[in-house]
Structure 1
């Protein structure tokens, strides 16, 4: 076999084992999130109340998820949504880096023999386990086995590099320029989203003498820098500067530490060789030492550092564009429990926007000013865009990471958003067309008709608020109350239609035009209310078994009752 073909096959093997490593990490993350998702979110949210607790929580979550990048994306989602302060979030990122050090220390020992047993045990639990928790545990064990297996295969694959003169020459040339080593490792870490893999590969290369100690230290520094790049890339496309504080703060921490490490690489290298002659252990122990020292240096400085970040990335004024999403952090889609919380908060803005539309719609219908019609139609743009953004955001979440409860919540959010957006379409379209008709024809409502329209709109606003509350609580009692509002609006529609018919029958043409328009308005308000009920009450009633498929009577029941 030619050398070029052998090299190509080696590259394919490298890519394949790297893909296996990433898939193993994905399985561990998805298994942990499915098993502990809500509890993990709750524990992390509580722990982020203080710097020290946040530091410990970051280390724990990273150890569970086998990835500091996953922790960074989760904490970034909390910070971007305004759920946690910046100082404990930065502390959590320092803890996450300690977590990767613990993972590297464990995997640096010869644990390859445990991989088949972990995969076999995980498969048995996944296929035969009773309950979703056992299946999730099986997923985690399979992922851990794949991680160990992939890392072991990568080390075995790279071992013959010491006999490849061209590769040794290339790495030898890079070893003379620490900055190039840092850049190479940083790019590789960003590409594979795993500093653990890059550090372990570096340790293997150092053990084989392919790279000297100083180059190994530089590669470890680059791996630490690369682990902070992915969260920054995730938020660069966002136009909210505040969302960039935590990822950029973490990157600055890493960059400062790496810069100091590169500047002192010669004395550091000499001391590390004296302390740890085993070059493989040297790379791994330096990785741990670097993260411990960085944490000790930066933890006391997080307060002023957070204030600096807040000045560099100030809060964006959201009042100037109400159509812009406020809580849909793209980085949080990697963590479904955070992403669903963000989508829920954004969906509640639809209820607020619809309530404001109803206010302007009432003025448009009753005051007779055209500017209120334009204001109401502008409100429809808010609901249209927010609903579209929420749908796109939820579609970006990997469905494999969603539990059955998560999928149900996705459906509830989509149902709530779609129905409120459709309610807004009725207000913007049919009700505003009727407001325009009243202005054009100079129709005047009686005091009773105006009072009825105003009372129904006020009742509708109350129902919108009840729907928003029900969307969060899923209380069957509130669902029944909201569903019963349909009967009240149906009675109002019947009364308005009867009044209009009576006026027509008695030849009151002047009043009949007003009553006809009033009946149309009441009918459309009833339609708006139907969408509000469907947005929040129906999903809860369907889940509790209290929603009938049809209002039709059972076949033969009418005859038997007669």
Structure 2
């Protein structure tokens, strides 16, 4: 009976360790998600900086798996070349070793303080970032607490004959230990957690050093499996180049390390007799050697992956352009027509995002919110493809009207893409915040938001029609929609200040969130108007350079 209870305790502490890791990862992503993506985007100019970026981002995220899934999406969208992406993954694998090195020391005494600080920050409502960083500190505290309890619990297992027999039966077979470590890392989505658990086992003498090192190799292998299984695919082998390439480097490294396991055991014992530190050092050494070997070979390795995993077009993939015929670039007027036809797809996608946002606000369906946010990737891909297509046209072949139309197409697509970003990064996160905080909108506020989203959907359809017809009357009507949104914001601001005087925090918070959503909708509408109405009005001389009164009127 006591043994069964101890097993439940063991599983519970492992679950606590994994949950703490999850809280750290999600907290960092919520607080700095866009910033981390920007860091990766700016650092992908050469493999050296890409390696360092992968190392740094993974050290912050506490997960090479999260970095791998993020980079797989970048490569699948064509935003990142394969060579720097592979360098990022080599850096990400080294980044996990920094986390393990820190946690290999006994820092459990700071766990209660971290949890207390995290709870205080988490309960604050003044700043979303402070709220998310509170999750990070709570997660770190839970990780340290779980590790400390695991060490104490494993001491009771040390002399248990059945447990030692079970571990002894697999400790003599390195391949079995690699397999166990790989399955555990894949199942938990965390090589760090598996390595830390292995350190606990080694510290208590439950597994010999060679078996601990084999478990570490398996953990490194398992962390590379998750992006292959869960990363973007869509039937196109090219989308799996990065994840498969990273897995192959892991396999090669594990195979070589298994062959050198005995000398590695002697080397680690000579450097650091402490079993816990030896496991951490082996984990670091393995990833550094793999990175040092493969980093100079990334160019031929990437070419090999491109030959083995060629591009395969999927006509059903919504992120792929349908009308951008390369041959049409020889005739600019035909190419511009193809680009305009492709640009209309952005209007359809944005309208779909607004419809999804409308239903998400009505129902509070988190899955619908996630699906709606995912459509922004379609806008990004199509906008990138259209810009690349149009910039390849020979300027000498373009007439004045052709250049004007080209600029209008670019303005249309870029503004709609920006509108989609507002829905993705502002509108839907604000809607999700209402659910997280349990806020309830008043009926008239919810009805107003739904009505305004319907109005924006109609404006998108008007903008798509205006983009093709260039009708001045329609342009005026669409531009006047900005006035309606501005008046709605003014009314909502006045109502919000009245509610602040009521002294009820829940009402004030719901009102502030309603105002944030209104401002998001106003910004979306501004991009829609700028996409189609402004070019027509500017060409006809009906667009003022500024809403400010001129000096003469100002002096009257």
- Counterpart check, 1:470 vs 2:415: yes
Measured at CA, do residues 15 and 326 of structure 1 come closer, stay the same or move farther in structure 2, by a change above 3 Å? farther
- Counterpart check, 1:251 vs 2:247: yes
Which residue of the other structure, out of 16, 19, 25, is the alignment partner of 2:15?
Answer: 19
Corresponding residue SS for 2:158 = helix
Match of 1:61 in 2: 57
Question: How far is the alpha carbon of 1:236 from its aligned partner?
Answer: 7.8
Asked if the contact 2:73–2:232 (Cα under 8 Å) also holds between the matched residues in 1, the reply is no
Measured at CA, do residues 116 and 237 of structure 1 come closer, stay the same or move farther in structure 2, by a change above 3 Å? same
Match of 1:93 in 2: 89
Q: Distance between the aligned counterparts of 1:85 and 1:32, measured in 2?
A: 26
Match of 2:102 in 1: 106
Q: Distance between the aligned counterparts of 2:34 and 2:15, measured in 1?
A: 29
Asked if the contact 2:181–2:216 (Cα under 8 Å) also holds between the matched residues in 1, the reply is yes
Question: How far is the alpha carbon of 1:8 from its aligned partner?
Answer: 3.4
Match of 1:284 in 2: 280
Q: Which moved more, 1:269-278 or 1:294-303?
A: 269-278
Residues 299-318 of structure 1, C-alpha deviation per residue, up to 9 Å, x if partnerless?
11111111111111111134
Q: Distance between the aligned counterparts of 1:98 and 1:358, measured in 2?
A: 42
TM-score, structure 1 normalization: 0.62
Q: Distance between the aligned counterparts of 1:280 and 1:246, measured in 2?
A: 32
Which residue of the other structure, out of 312, 331, 346, is the alignment partner of 1:316?
Answer: 312
Asked if the contact 2:53–2:88 (Cα under 8 Å) also holds between the matched residues in 1, the reply is yes
Match of 1:151 in 2: 147
Question: How far is the alpha carbon of 1:401 from its aligned partner?
Answer: 10
Q: Distance between the aligned counterparts of 1:487 and 1:205, measured in 2?
A: 64
Match of 2:74 in 1: 78
| Aligned pairs (5 A) from 1:94-243 | 94-128=90-124, 130-235=126-231, 238-243=234-239
Which residue of the other structure, out of 270, 274, 287, is the alignment partner of 2:270?
Answer: 274
Question: How far is the alpha carbon of 1:151 from its aligned partner?
Answer: 2.3
Match of 1:36 in 2: 32
Question: How far is the alpha carbon of 1:269 from its aligned partner?
Answer: 1.6
Question: How far is the alpha carbon of 1:237 from its aligned partner?
Answer: 5.7
CA RMSD in angstroms comes to 4.7
Asked if the contact 1:44–1:57 (Cα under 8 Å) also holds between the matched residues in 2, the reply is yes
- Counterpart check, 1:325 vs 2:270: no
Q: Unaligned regions of 5+ residues in structure 1, if any?
A: 329-351, 360-378, 418-459, 494-521, 548-562
Q: Distance between the aligned counterparts of 2:69 and 2:464, measured in 1?
A: 47
Q: Distance between the aligned counterparts of 2:374 and 2:290, measured in 1?
A: 44
Asked if the contact 1:175–1:211 (Cα under 8 Å) also holds between the matched residues in 2, the reply is yes
Q: How many residues align?
A: 407
Corresponding residue SS for 1:227 = helix
Measured at CA, do residues 216 and 468 of structure 1 come closer, stay the same or move farther in structure 2, by a change above 3 Å? same
TM-score, structure 2 normalization: 0.63
Say which one has the larger Rg: 1
| Aligned pairs (5 A) from 1:364-513 | 410=372, 468-474=413-419
Q: Distance between the aligned counterparts of 1:219 and 1:325, measured in 2?
A: 42
Asked if the contact 2:18–2:193 (Cα under 8 Å) also holds between the matched residues in 1, the reply is no
Measured at CA, do residues 18 and 311 of structure 1 come closer, stay the same or move farther in structure 2, by a change above 3 Å? same
Question: How far is the alpha carbon of 1:400 from its aligned partner?
Answer: 12
Asked if the contact 2:51–2:92 (Cα under 8 Å) also holds between the matched residues in 1, the reply is yes
Question: How far is the alpha carbon of 1:283 from its aligned partner?
Answer: 1.0
